[in-house]
Amino acid sequence: MEVKARAPGKIILSGEHAVVHGSTAVAASIDLFTHVCLRFPSQTENVDALKLHLKDVGLEFSWSIERLKEALSQVCCPFSSVPSSCTTESLKSLSSLVDEQSFPEAKIGIASGAYAFLWLYTSILGFKPATVVVTSDLPLGAGLGSSAAFCVALSAAFLSLSNSVSLDVSQKGWLTYKESELELLNKWAFEGEKIIHGKPSGIDNTVSTYGNMIQFKSGSLTRIKTTMPLKMLITNTKVGRNTKALVAGVSERTLRHPDPMTSVFNAVDSISKELSTVIQSPASDNISLTEKEEKLGELMEMNQGLLQCMGVSHASIETVLRTTLKYKLASKLTGAGGGGCVLTLLPTLLSATVVAKVVKELESSGFQCFTATIGGEGVQICFDGSS
């Protein structure tokens, strides 16, 4: 039995970090996916292990079912129909399982992904032998929601072969889950994100689950639809960083300066709400598309200024901002910052020559530029092996 799942990455148009502290944020899925292939061995194969192959980072793990039961029977609740949180005690058991697999020092950041995998797998499917292969179109740890896409795609694959959802496995092509099942899937993915991020807001797993564009505040989503074409240049500074550490850094700054940080978060809330209104309002005689794009660009710049206040910008991000500003283009970091990716709004009337010049200049600084389609499908699964 084999199933494939895919879940998209995301961009945050406004509100990262502040959303962890209760502000509104606006995010959209992009057409770059994390793919998971889950296969149960046939009885004749006589396999008694759970194998994980993380192709993007060149890591392979194999745990005997006996060892998994020994380490996790006391701390995890197999076939749990309600998403369960990984406790500190469970995390210790997960880390001993990963550590004993001779994990290379240079790839230590990936360990939390392996913990999330083990937690989701054993909680949803118990101690069943299987092989799971993960690949991604997304750069890892660059602000495009690779951790959430990973958790959403894993949850989708595991749930599809569990008793918690009912799916017609004879259907062909990419399938979507029912609304109630998406809610369950999103909750499981959030438990995985908690293992990787520490204190996620839930926006990344939610937009990866549902796709399209969402406004998100205090754990609840509102689906929104843009009336304007949104074209963003995505620049990967290639400076590695870790979302968990950046989120913790903002929380520490908030403890040191509660009043000013509360004002910063309130300002971000207003920016996100206004941005959401601008992108949803129809262009009319009174307000042209160009004016809407100018407003959007200005709101992105204002949000970037506040992200600097939170301490999550980086010299590489500032270089991208300075470069794009020379061409009068508005930019902001996206995701957790500290390096990673920067968004630049490409107005509809901007000529291809100017775009090529900006890209050339950014790439000459060692950055990588690309565009992605904004606001497509959320998570999907496929049983027929043809996709």
Ligand X SMILES: Nc1ncnc2c1ncn2[C@@H]1O[C@H](COP(=O)(O)OP(=O)(O)OP(=O)(O)O)[C@@H](O)[C@H]1O
Ligand Y SMILES: C[C@@](O)(CCO)CC(=O)[O-]
Out of Mg ion, ligand Y, ligand X, none, what residue 302 binds, judged by CB under 5 to 8 A for its kind, is none
**34 lines the binding site for ligand X (CB under 6 A):** yes
Task: Provide Rg for the chain, Cα atoms.
Answer: 21
Residues 170-229 that bind ligand X (CB under 6 A): 196-197, 204
Contacts 24+ apart (CB under 8 A), 294-298: 296/228, 296/330, 296/345, 297/329, 297/330, 297/345, 297/347, 298/330
**204 lines the binding site for ligand Y (CB under 6 A):** yes
224 within 8 A of 276, measured Cβ to Cβ: yes
**Minimum CB distance to ligand Y smaller for 297 or for 335:** 335
56 included as an active-site residue:
no
Q: How many residues bind ligand Y (CB under 6 A)?
A: 15
Residues 328-367 that bind ligand Y (CB under 6 A): 335-336
The string over 16-34, giving b where at least 16 C-beta atoms fall within 10 Å of a residue's C-beta and e elsewhere, is bbbbbbebbbbbbbbebbb
**Closest by Cα among 159, 169, 153 to 209:** 153
Q: List the beta bridge partners of residue 49.
A: 64
Among 6, 194, 197, 292, contact with ligand Y (rule: CB under 6 A): 197
d(CA 78, CA 30): 33
- Interaction mask 233-262, ligand Y, x per CB under 6 A: ----------x---x---------------
**147 lines the binding site for Mg ion (CB under 5 A):** yes
30 within 8 A of 222, measured Cβ to Cβ: no
State the nearest-atom distance from the C-beta of 126 to ligand X, in Å.
Answer: 23
Catalytic residue numbers, as ranges: 204
Give contact residues for ligand Y (rule: CB under 6 A): 12, 16-17, 19-20, 145, 197, 200-201, 203-204, 243, 247, 335-336
Contact residues toward ligand X (CB under 6 A) are 34, 54, 56-57, 109-110, 112-113, 134, 136, 140-147, 150, 196-197, 204, 242-243, 335-336
